Structure 1
Amino acid sequence: MANDSSAATRTRTGCCAVCGRTFPLGRLYRAQHLRPRLNEAIARETSGWNDSSLICSEDLTRFRRIYVERLLEEERGELSALDKEVLESFERGQSTVLGTATPFEERSTLGQRLADRVASFGGSWTFIILFVSVLVSWMAINVTGILSNNFDPYPFILLNLVLSCVAALQAPVIMMSQKRQEEKDRQRAENDYMVNLRAELEIRQLHEKIDHQMAHQWERLAELQQIQIELLEQRGKH
């Protein structure tokens, strides 16, 4: 008989005080089990709200976002676009970074990818060795007179012109690559910030769910205990 009463308790329904729809009690949260400030936020926008009122998970998620948004505004001031993006993904139950971040390489142009490769090659030992080899060969050919006609005799004016052109072209290419690297670092920092903020919100929600589950378990245990007491009293009378 106690098992039947427990099953009946689990199948009972209640009415959400916000939307007015009927749900199983397992999908409803009691006002007295919510955080005080969250409870106050719901009470300000819901008439007849009291400690015994029930709210469904959908409305609770909506009010929780409003509560978290106000909490973040108090802690950090005006919310940034990243904060609002995290709150929206948190409300929808979607992944914060995977749902919003686009792979950086997919958004780069051909010129940007070429600049990255040139800068990567220009900062390698391969480039240094090849460049030194070209310089030494250039000067050796023009000093020793291996060729019948020295195309750039000492003081190597043509070589100086070539070096100046290489430096003039290499500098902006490296700057473009550094700018893209800064953009990558900024995106990684934003993703880390969004993940940390989402983790903070998830932990807060997890605490509320645990409190809600414990409160439900205590209610069921108290009801089962009351049923057992009534059964014992009935047996004592007979």
Structure 2
Amino acid sequence: MARGNHSYQTCPVCSLSRRAGDMMDGGLVRPPIVELIRQKSPQWSPADSICLSCVNRFRADYVEDILEKDKGELSKLEEEVVTSLRDQEDILAENINPEFDRQLTFGERMADKIAEFGGSWSFILSFGLVLLLWIALNSFLMARHPFDPYPYILLNLVLSCLAALQAPIIMMSQNRQEARDRLRAEHDYRVNLKAELEIRLLHGKIDQLLTNQWQRLLEIQKIQMEMMARPHGPAPRALPKPAEGNQAT
């Protein structure tokens, strides 16, 4: 059919009349696009022509399907990671201090309190004040009848007894602190080991996902290059195959 100086053809896909320059031979369409066209228009075959508008539309649909499939695979990857975490042990990261404190006896708690007070400025200031009062009482206020005259032998005895009792109490507290640190180190090791295994699992799944995406990205790039190669002008048509008689001659 001709209109003016242009010849027109009917596209078998959209059933619209197109100029001959806007038609494309089905043999030039990429196989993935052909499959998509056949799914939506079963009456069309690669031997037929198709308009450029339909080809571009199916190209866009194909790219959109690939992107949607990639998005679905990403969601599936996230679901697999969550499932793997759920199927394994519970979360290892936790605060071990409350459980450790519940196992302490009354004597151990008292030793920790005494060691904590003995290593504070409150103890230093209060003990210094007691020493000053002791010396003042026996040297000035009760100079005639001191209960511990100079050189304060009773004070030395009290200080020696205090040091003898304070040293093992502090050592008991340090031993428990060392046990707490050892338990925390073992717990941190388990947490770090689990995190390392999960990171390795994620790396493997991401590598697999990227490998599957490479082929699709290359396919999208080829389609884009085809769309950019002929922005205007008539579409090329496949060359007819020579007849057997002509080949013989």
Task: State the TM-score, normalizing by the size of structure 2.
Answer: 0.48
Query: Rg larger in 1 or in 2?
Result: 2
